Amino acid sequence: MSLLIDGYNLLHASGVLAPEGRGTSLERARGALLDCLQRLIDPGEQSRTTVVFDGRDAPPGLPGRWRHGELEVRFAARHREADELLEELIEADNAPRQLTVVSSDHRVQRAARRRDARAVDSDVWFREQSRQRPLSVGDGKPRGPLSDDEVERWLREFGRDA
């Protein structure tokens, strides 16, 4: 594994919005984040990427571990919270110096640093990746006026108050 991501932490830091559709807004937001990660992470690195979500919000009947494209996705179902599973995965990694851990949680960052892994705050990592691999917006044609939420997100992105 070369990239370990604290899923809900990144979801909140990235501002990825849940699209309209079926399922709970949390399920849609997770799917939107995973789709976004597929566009942000280099294709060669996706198979070495694990995204961990807290288990208490896992959809019923969904396996604790599956693939979203090439990304490995895990719910910390047997743990009180995702941080415990993240710490286990950091500890078990056989090449921690080649591991990047994306989380703003200081507990997870300390666990990464103890193993000489790189720890990056979620918002910092998301900005870095977005600069390196800008998200495409379809065919580039405007799709209508922005929603209030989208306007606020873009204003925050450019450091302006809404």
Q: List, in order, residues 6 or more apart from 3 with CB less than 8 Å away.
A: 41, 45, 48, 49, 50, 99, 100, 102
Determine the pLDDT at residue 19: 79
Element (H, E) at 104: none
Average pLDDT over the chain, rounded to an integer: 86
Domain count, the chain: 1
Does the model's pTM come out above 0.85?
Answer: no
Residue-number span of the structural domain to which 89 is assigned: 3-136
Residue 43 is assigned to a structural domain of this protein: yes
Determine the pLDDT at residue 161: 62
Residue 141 is assigned to a structural domain of this protein: no
pLDDT of residue 23 exceeding 60, the answer is: yes
Residue 162 is assigned to a structural domain of this protein: no
Residue 20 is assigned to a structural domain of this protein: yes
Q: Read off the pLDDT band of 94 (50, 70, 90).
A: very high
